[in-house]
Chains A and B, each alone.
Chain A
Amino acid sequence: MEPHLEELVKSAILGTEKYVPNYGLYGETLAQKITETGIDREDVFLRQCAAAFAYEAAGAVTSPLEGANQAFTGNVGQLANGALERLLETALREENRHVLAYLAFTAAQKQVSAPPYLVPDLLDQTLKYGDPSGHLTALSGAVGQWLSQFNTRWKRLFEAAAEEDFDTAPHAARVAQLEKLRATDPDAALGKLDGVIQQEAADARWDMLFCLRVGLNENDLPFLEKMTKDKSKKVKELAINLLTLQPMSTISQLNLAYLKAAMSIEEKRGLLSTKRQLVFSESAVPDPLLFQLGLEKISSEKGVDDHIHQIAQVLGQTHPDILAAQLGTDALTLIELVFQSKQIKTLKPALSKAAEQFGHPVWSKYLLAQGHNSLTMLSHLSQADQLAICGKWLDNPALVGMAVAQFTNHPDYPIIPHDIAVKIIGLIKNARTYFEAPTYTKLGFIFPDSVLPILTQMQKAAQKNDDHPSRHLAQNVGTILQCIQIRQQLQD
């Protein structure tokens, strides 16, 4: 601020009865004239101020600006236009993140970026709602990366897992960096983890150790064995669990050796045929190291023998294919035999655990067919098998939510078959199931075009009534229709 303005402001703050400024600093003649014609002290002061401010405005000048040109010099690439541009603009304005996610997916398929004027909103919403698929960040393109240099919050979206940042980054960012590095260079990630894990609290140690599930390999074994002696029970259990996933680990070897001794397949001759059955040996004893690593010796469940309890625990930690090979059979036959055994009730949870942990499609399919409902197991099946299972789940009110979640959470928005879509529409129509609002949006993106007439008719029928359920139904169906139309517009 100019000295004469500082004088005036000082006087205004303190009050003219306490401090009268020197008025001659900006223009002596004018100041004198104002003073001479003033009615009183405050009249002079206020007019002097007005004159000084007018002087200031009249004396404004442009400044030379130092520094390099900050304009975008890269290539914006192929930009979204037409319907995609319009829909992106609308989704961003309405903060409709589910529609935005679909549009980002479509843009990724078409390999186009958002028009530059939409990028600030896009980056803001990416930060706000997260970007698990990475499509939103990708959608902002080269312009997003360039803009991020002007906004520290946006910068985080583009920051690579730089090594120098690892030591100072917040915990969540470190875990994310480790996971990312683990996918490309497992040994480097292990080295980084080994260097810092002991300085962390138990929960943080668990999070970091959990990163090793990505790219788990033999080189991790010494480190994991070291972690089985961790102070935290939770961390210790995770280390053991990761070791069981590696066939070459000591624990896996001991588990396998124990099961080989404890389980055998015998043939039992009947009158007309020979029947194979699984036999469990009571005399086989697990290696003492397994007990040290947490294997429970005694069953706490009534009617369950100790050796069956031990077998169940070890079975859940053993790869189905490796075990089947050791027993001279295949995985499907093995699970069938387990199901035929009298101990199936005790062993069932172990089978599910093994199917989920090892991502075993045969056991997963078998267990799902037997009524073991698990989204993890479902994810190990082929698309066709998943659809068949989910179609069955839709008949069971308790499983509808899971089935629909399986369809709507798919990152690639695959179109579901007409009959399954009709089944879901039936559920919506009969008000047997209420979904959360985003589900209707997601359903719109995966319903086939063939259901459009059914939905249109349903909406019209609902609009004729004025009760709350009908209005609710009309609104939800409207959302689905709108999303189908969005998809159609993008296909045009």
Chain B
Amino acid sequence: MQFTDEQIRQLAPDPASAAAGKQLANPAKWVTKCSHELALWGDCQGSGKVPYSTVIDLSNLGFKCTCPSRKFPCKHGLGLLFLMAGNKAAFTVSDTLAPHVEDWLSKRNARQTAKEQTEAKPVDEKARQKRADQRTAKVDEGVEALGAWLKDQVRTGLVDAQQQAYQFSSKIAARMVDAQAPALASRLNAINVLDFYRDGWQKSLLKHLAYTYMIANAYRKINDLPEQWQEEIRTLVGWNTSKETLLQTGETLEDRWTVLCVQQENQDKLRVEKVWLWANGAQRFGLLLNFYAPGQIAPQTFLAGTTLAATLVYYPAVSPLRVLVKTIEGTIDTQWPVGASSLEQVLEHCRQQLALNPLQPQVPALLAEVSLRKVQDRWWLVDGQGRALPLRHFDAQALRILAATLGRPFHGMATWEDGQLSLCAYWADNRFFTV
């Protein structure tokens, strides 16, 4: 497939690596540079006597380099990819893979197979049950404490909340971490990033508190809930479905998945990668959540705007959205989806999703033929019928979208959250952009 500079930059661990990689996108820097439909490889003359050998797996994007850099991908990997993007003719097209490339690719495939086999290995059920019981007790205690804290907040009033901006719920969030209810802790930490100096903060805060209370309350009565809701509430508290179980019992979908958007955010010390995917055949969204510790290397790289042939498994939920990768066969010809052409239809889809599960924080939706407009200092998305929905973005982001689309109709993908649309990706004039 053909990568764009923008896509390659998204792969870089930091801007400095991207800049260094860009400098290596020069045929003169590479002693050899070969391309094959499965891989790219080349030898880059560095400061040492022996050139660094760099290999890129194109089917299941991955990098390997003999340089000592701890960054991943290193500048050589990025440089080779930049060179491919800018000067394809500089590569020698090879019908066969070089031995070291073939060796690495086969090891990579073998690892993937071994991983699948390991995942199927049986576990000590007795020990697992014991751990689960211990955790259940901790979570129960934590949820009780959370309910009491929430009630205390509304009993005494939120008038002083602004003075505790950014640490309003820090202590109770830490308590939830101790209680092994990480999802509740994240939800509470999200309160601390609310803008307490913006009009309407009181409503946002109350909404967070009320919905968190609903989760805590539902968890206390979890056995009275329908099965699907039990799974949903357990997930919202922080119970994970094990990958092994999920791979065995989850809803599997083999499809052509378009990567719509890759968002990165930091939660405490973890880097959270949110990959929004669209199944072109089943016409469904999937949200892949990856959590990385500092320095941890992502085993799989997702590029917004590309399409993968892959099999994913949905986590059980009231309205299943989160997915786990089972297998990725490779990248295929890019397919960018087209959504509903009226915003009323988009909103109807969001209303239906929220009716199914009012606790989901954001609802993804595809857009078609919408354009951007600024009215009274606020940005709106307008459809062909002149109906509009407010956009969450501030001027800086909105102006970028406006420039790229020239204010003309475009297709895109957005999430509906708190009564506003948040544009994640859009495509216009055969170009794919992420926000």
Q: Which of A12-20, A239-247, A270-278, A296-304 contacts the other chain?
A: A12-20
Q: Binding site of A, secondary structure by majority: helix, strand, loop or mixed?
A: helix
Q: At the interface, yes or no: A282 with Cβ under 8 Å from chain B?
A: no
Tell me the A1-23 residues at the B interface (CB within 8 Å). 1, 5, 8-9, 11-18
In the complex, the chain B residue whose C-beta lies closest to that of A89 is B5
**What is the bound-complex CA distance between A57 and B406, given in angstroms?**
31
User: Across the interface, do B375 and A13 meet the contact criterion of CB distance under 8 Å?
Assistant: no
Binary contact readout A439-453 vs B (1 if CB under 8 angstroms, 0 otherwise): 000000000000000
User: Across the interface, do B203 and A1 meet the contact criterion of CB distance under 8 Å?
Assistant: yes
**What is the bound-complex CA distance between A412 and B85, given in angstroms?**
31
User: Across the interface, do B155 and A42 meet the contact criterion of CB distance under 8 Å?
Assistant: yes
Which of B22, B210, B375, B431 is close to A46, meaning CB atoms less than 8 Å apart?
A: B210
Assuming A62-B344, A90-B22, A485-B26, is B406 touching A143 (CB within 8 A)?
yes
**What is the bound-complex CA distance between A374 and B207, given in angstroms?**
70
Q: At the interface, yes or no: B297 with Cβ under 8 Å from chain A?
A: no
Assuming A12-B206, A63-B387, is B155 touching A57 (CB within 8 A)?
no
Q: At the interface, yes or no: B347 with Cβ under 8 Å from chain A?
A: yes
**What is the bound-complex CA distance between A343 and B23, given in angstroms?**
59
B411 to chain A, nearest CB (A): 16
In the complex, the chain A residue whose C-beta lies closest to that of B214 is A50
User: Across the interface, do A50 and B387 meet the contact criterion of CB distance under 8 Å?
Assistant: no
Tell me the B217-251 residues at the A interface (CB within 8 Å). 217
**What is the bound-complex CA distance between A61 and B348, given in angstroms?**
9
Which of B210, B388, B396 is close to A49, meaning CB atoms less than 8 Å apart?
A: B210
For A64, list chain B residues within 8 Å (CB): 386-388
User: Across the interface, do A63 and B388 meet the contact criterion of CB distance under 8 Å?
Assistant: yes
Q: Which of A113-121, A215-223, A355-363, A375-383 contacts the other chain?
A: A113-121
User: Across the interface, do A464 and B47 meet the contact criterion of CB distance under 8 Å?
Assistant: yes
Assuming A12-B158, A60-B347, A463-B47, is B406 touching A47 (CB within 8 A)?
no
B27 to chain A, nearest CB (A): 10
In the complex, the chain B residue whose C-beta lies closest to that of A122 is B403
Q: Which of B108-116, B137-145, B325-333, B350-358 contacts the other chain?
A: B350-358
B205 to chain A, nearest CB (A): 8
B392 to chain A, nearest CB (A): 14
**What is the bound-complex CA distance between A65 and B159, given in angstroms?**
36
Which of A8, A40, A72, A456 is close to B407, meaning CB atoms less than 8 Å apart?
A: A72
Q: At the interface, yes or no: A158 with Cβ under 8 Å from chain B?
A: no
User: Across the interface, do B403 and A45 meet the contact criterion of CB distance under 8 Å?
Assistant: no
For B389, list chain A residues within 8 Å (CB): 62-63
In the complex, the chain A residue whose C-beta lies closest to that of B216 is A46
In the complex, the chain B residue whose C-beta lies closest to that of A57 is B354
**What is the bound-complex CA distance between A9 and B22, given in angstroms?**
53
Q: At the interface, yes or no: A170 with Cβ under 8 Å from chain B?
A: no
Q: At the interface, yes or no: B151 with Cβ under 8 Å from chain A?
A: yes
Assuming A120-B399, A143-B406, A464-B47, is B387 touching A60 (CB within 8 A)?
no
User: Across the interface, do B151 and A65 meet the contact criterion of CB distance under 8 Å?
Assistant: no
User: Across the interface, do A143 and B403 meet the contact criterion of CB distance under 8 Å?
Assistant: yes
Binary contact readout B65-94 vs A (1 if CB under 8 angstroms, 0 otherwise): 000000000000000000000100000000
Q: At the interface, yes or no: B187 with Cβ under 8 Å from chain A?
A: no
A357 to chain B, nearest CB (A): 46
Assuming A50-B214, A71-B407, is B399 touching A62 (CB within 8 A)?
no
Q: At the interface, yes or no: B157 with Cβ under 8 Å from chain A?
A: yes
B84 to chain A, nearest CB (A): 13
Tell me the A62-81 residues at the B interface (CB within 8 Å). 62-67, 69-72, 76
User: Across the interface, do A42 and B347 meet the contact criterion of CB distance under 8 Å?
Assistant: no
User: Across the interface, do A47 and B23 meet the contact criterion of CB distance under 8 Å?
Assistant: no
User: Across the interface, do B355 and A58 meet the contact criterion of CB distance under 8 Å?
Assistant: yes
Binary contact readout B351-374 vs A (1 if CB under 8 angstroms, 0 otherwise): 100110010000000000001011
**What is the bound-complex CA distance between A119 and B222, given in angstroms?**
54
User: Across the interface, do A60 and B211 meet the contact criterion of CB distance under 8 Å?
Assistant: no
For B86, list chain A residues within 8 Å (CB): 83, 86
Binary contact readout B6-37 vs A (1 if CB under 8 angstroms, 0 otherwise): 10010000010011001100101000000000
Binary contact readout B253-284 vs A (1 if CB under 8 angstroms, 0 otherwise): 00000000000000000000000000000000
In the complex, the chain B residue whose C-beta lies closest to that of A482 is B23
A71 to chain B, nearest CB (A): 4
For B158, list chain A residues within 8 Å (CB): 12-13, 15
For A151, list chain B residues within 8 Å (CB): 395, 399
For B351, list chain A residues within 8 Å (CB): 57-58, 60
Binary contact readout A75-103 vs B (1 if CB under 8 angstroms, 0 otherwise): 01000000100100110011000000000
- What's the interface size class on B, roughly? 35 or more
User: Across the interface, do B151 and A15 meet the contact criterion of CB distance under 8 Å?
Assistant: no
**What is the bound-complex CA distance between A200 and B92, given in angstroms?**
70
Q: At the interface, yes or no: A129 with Cβ under 8 Å from chain B?
A: no
User: Across the interface, do B403 and A116 meet the contact criterion of CB distance under 8 Å?
Assistant: yes
For B41, list chain A residues within 8 Å (CB): none
Q: At the interface, yes or no: A384 with Cβ under 8 Å from chain B?
A: no
Q: At the interface, yes or no: B156 with Cβ under 8 Å from chain A?
A: yes
For A482, list chain B residues within 8 Å (CB): 23
B12 to chain A, nearest CB (A): 11
**What is the bound-complex CA distance between A54 and B200, given in angstroms?**
17
**What is the bound-complex CA distance between A15 and B383, given in angstroms?**
42
Q: At the interface, yes or no: A367 with Cβ under 8 Å from chain B?
A: no
Assuming A46-B150, A63-B388, is B355 touching A15 (CB within 8 A)?
no
User: Across the interface, do A71 and B343 meet the contact criterion of CB distance under 8 Å?
Assistant: no
For B23, list chain A residues within 8 Å (CB): 478, 482
For B295, list chain A residues within 8 Å (CB): none
For A395, list chain B residues within 8 Å (CB): none
Q: At the interface, yes or no: A138 with Cβ under 8 Å from chain B?
A: no
User: Across the interface, do B154 and A45 meet the contact criterion of CB distance under 8 Å?
Assistant: yes
For A90, list chain B residues within 8 Å (CB): 5, 22
**What is the bound-complex CA distance between A273 and B430, given in angstroms?**
84
Q: At the interface, yes or no: B400 with Cβ under 8 Å from chain A?
A: yes
User: Across the interface, do B419 and A56 meet the contact criterion of CB distance under 8 Å?
Assistant: yes
Q: At the interface, yes or no: B402 with Cβ under 8 Å from chain A?
A: yes
**What is the bound-complex CA distance between A72 and B428, given in angstroms?**
14
For A56, list chain B residues within 8 Å (CB): 419
User: Across the interface, do B19 and A94 meet the contact criterion of CB distance under 8 Å?
Assistant: yes
In the complex, the chain B residue whose C-beta lies closest to that of A465 is B47
In the complex, the chain B residue whose C-beta lies closest to that of A144 is B403
Binary contact readout A113-149 vs B (1 if CB under 8 angstroms, 0 otherwise): 0001111100000000000000000000001000100
For B388, list chain A residues within 8 Å (CB): 62-65
**What is the bound-complex CA distance between A58 and B357, given in angstroms?**
11
A121 to chain B, nearest CB (A): 8
**What is the bound-complex CA distance between A54 and B359, given in angstroms?**
9
Besides A12-B206, A89-B5, 20 more A-B contacts (Cβ < 8 Å) are A1-B203, A12-B154, A13-B202, A15-B156, A41-B155, A42-B151, A46-B151, A47-B210, A49-B209, A50-B211, A58-B358, A60-B350, A64-B388, A65-B375, A65-B382, A71-B371, A116-B404, A117-B431, A147-B402, A150-B399
Q: Measuring CB to CB, which residues of chain A are less than 8 angstroms from any residue of chain B?
A: 1, 5, 8-9, 11-18, 40-43, 45-47, 49-50, 53-54, 56-58, 60-67, 69-72, 76, 83, 86, 89-90, 93-94, 116-120, 143, 147, 150-151, 456, 463-464, 478, 482, 485
> Can you report 16 A-B residue pairs in the complex whose CB atoms are below 8 A from each other?
A9-B202, A11-B154, A12-B157, A12-B205, A14-B159, A17-B156, A50-B213, A57-B351, A58-B351, A58-B358, A60-B347, A63-B387, A64-B386, A65-B373, A72-B408, A117-B400
User: Sorted from nearest, which 3 A-B pairs have the closest CB atoms?
Assistant: A15-B157, A71-B407, A49-B210
